[in-house]
Chains A and B, each alone.
Chain A
Amino acid sequence: MPSNAISAENFLNREAELSYLKSLPELKGKALGGNVFLEGARGMGKTELLKQLHRALFWEDNVVPFYYSFKTANQKGSYFAKDYFTRFVRQYISFVTKDSSIADNVAVPLQRLMPVISSLGLCWLIDCIDNFQAHVSKNDFYWQLVAAISAPVVAAQKSGKPVVVMLDDFDAAEHLYESSLDDAHGLISLFGESMQNRLCPHVITGSAGALGAIFTDHSLLGMTEQMRLGPLPEDLAAALFKTHLATLKITCAPDVRLTFLTILRGNPLYIRNLAKAASKMQKKELTEKDLVECYGFEVSEGETAFYWSSVFRRYVQSPTKRKAMVKLIMHAIENEGMEDRGRLSIVSGLCETETGAILDAMEASGIIRDKNAVFQDFIRALYMREIESRKPSDVREKIESKYLSESEASCFELVIPMSSNAELVVAKAVEQIGINMNLESEFLNYLQLALIEICINAMEHSGSYEKKVFLKFIARPNRLEIIIENSGRPFSLDSLTEHSVEEKLRMGMKRGWGFKLVYAIMDSVKVERINDRTRVILTKEIKNKEVHP
């Protein structure tokens, strides 16, 4: 039995789906329907819906619910058969006795349940168990599987009560094997018989990509319809988030509108995880900015990151290949799609065959289909950490700055030609931005100097054909961030090495001071290379003394 379903009043926006699923036995009895393939992005609440269905059926007592998760199941066929069978028997007895501990207590062997079964007068169940044991002792692989998979059908037929079979993350069943991986394709089709039974509606979940393959199997097609679980609407998403916060004893600052939550696109898993991140980061009164900060943590180091990492591990076992996969996905995100495999093997750094295998795994896992900002930010964070070896704090900051700049901050963009005195236009601009921010004029002089230095450096050394410098000013209450970007040659390290005045005098060198000044003036200077573009990111923390009272 699926444990810890959330309380019914906290389960939002799935009334229609739940009641439709509850009507399945009736529909199947009248041959109007029967099996449902429940589709939805990861975290959208498929498992939770099954749990809710299970609980409802359990207490209504007209239909027997059976829930099985393939996610944690052992894929060696004989283990699977035993597990599936015993779980069914336990859940069945649990249903009859209304004692959920029987289902939860996985460690108790079936033999010990025999007295209970006898006392309930379920002779057919005892026969069923004996039958299964006989196949096990004969080491008859195929019949063990058949006996296990058909147990719900037998129960339904013998008792006359329909059994709703819930197969969660069913795509994993595709990998059932006999004694070594991939030695027995198509064992999954053994479910076909059970799915066709009039007394046994099946509700199957899995990601769409993953189940696509399964549904090409004709025996499973039959009477299966698709049900899509979409996102929670915006207002309910916010309500759910607040409920979680309340449970975690966190309040929202008075003016918080939770606009940032839209990035989670109504995914209840992400919503829950973000609330938990706030708790982990010991937030008491949540502001809009906190929200972004928690998000940065969540997608780079939090539960969401862990969740996705484990999905990756499940589909691609070798760490080297996982790294290659991260590169590929990052590439797909930045280029909005995938090209031919030959080109992609350059991106992955692996040969074409290996790259192909990774792409297949990506396809099978359906992760490419889960195209959402959270997933993409997780990939960005992972890429920065694993491929670029950046510090976690750096990674978080990068993710955060992406959103902070768009929400709270005021943002100015400026493009200047690479022509003489164009840098003065920038100096003028930063002056006015500084005045808007109430910055002290002397401090502004420094800022102007720093910007002038970066601009003339770009003009003098880049050799850019584009002959433009792009600037973006992001003004926040406590920080000014300036991004300067241009195409062309990267900085030579020479321009970054320092020489003393004596040396300069001796060597007749009159240049190369720009960056020394910039480093001295700004709090942080980062130089990045993106394809043929150089990007310099300057930040300056605004302390109180630089702001006019």
Chain B
Amino acid sequence: MKTVQFSVTSRLVGDAAVIYPKGYLNNLSGESLVKECGIYIGKGITKIVVNFSETDLINSIGISLLLQIIEDLKNIKGTICCTNMSKFLQDTFEMLGLIQYMVVFPVESDALQYLKVGKV
């Protein structure tokens, strides 16, 4: 564990937004994650990829803020893909029954391909 200050960056790949949360995902950082997604959704983006490769720790409040994103995307019939999750993160999402609301891929490129052509 080498916890860094949380930050979130993003980029647009075609019609999909890729979000990179970095560090400890808690209430504060969760909020900024939601905000970042909100900006894209506001611009009409319906496909979001969250790349968790640099997320090292989480807490339940941070996780629950993901629900906000899921909810927002649901309202516009959008899709959320999660990638590069550690086994720990994936199992935790599973434990909370969250996994069924997202599409999980091992790596970001798989998710982008899926969003583009509907399959990997």
Interface residues of A, Cβ cutoff 8 Å to B? 420-421, 423-424, 427-428, 431, 442, 445-446, 448-449, 452-453, 456, 500-501, 504-505, 510-511, 513-514, 516-517, 520
Contact = CB atoms under 8 A, between A and B. Distances in A.
Nearest to A428: B1
A517 B95 contact: yes
Q: Which bracket fits the contact residues of B?
A: 20 to 34
A501 B86 CA distance: 22
B107 interface: no
B64 interface: yes
State the majority secondary structure of interface residues on B. helix
Interface string B79-99: 000000011100010011110
In order of increasing CB-CB distance, the 4 nearest A-B pairs are: A513-B60, A510-B64, A445-B88, A514-B60
Given A420-B28, A424-B3, A510-B68, A452 B95 contact: no
Contacts of A446: 88, 92
Given A517-B95, A517-B96, A449 B58 contact: yes
Given A421-B24, A424-B24, A453-B60, 20 more contacts: A442-B87, A442-B88, A448-B57, A452-B59, A453-B59, A500-B97, A501-B97, A501-B98, A505-B70, A505-B71, A510-B64, A510-B67, A510-B68, A511-B60, A511-B61, A511-B64, A513-B60, A514-B60, A516-B95, A517-B60
B101 interface: yes
A373 to B, nearest CB: 41
B30 to A, nearest CB: 9
A454 to B, nearest CB: 11
B26 to A, nearest CB: 8
Contact of B57 (A427, A442, A516): A427
Interface of B: 1, 3, 24, 26, 28, 57-61, 63-65, 67-68, 70-71, 86-88, 92, 95-98, 100-101
11 contacts: A420-B28, A427-B1, A427-B57, A445-B57, A453-B59, A456-B59, A501-B96, A501-B98, A510-B68, A514-B59, A517-B60
A448 B1 contact: yes
B57 to A, nearest CB: 6
Contacts, number: 69
Contacts of B97: 500-501
B58, B59, B95, B97, most chain A CB atoms within 10 A: B59
Nearest to A442: B88
Contacts of A501: 67, 96-98, 100-101
Given A501-B67, A504-B67, A424 B98 contact: no
Nearest to B3: A424
Contacts of A511: 60-61, 64
Contacts of A427: 1, 3, 57
B28, B64, B71, most chain A CB atoms within 10 A: B64
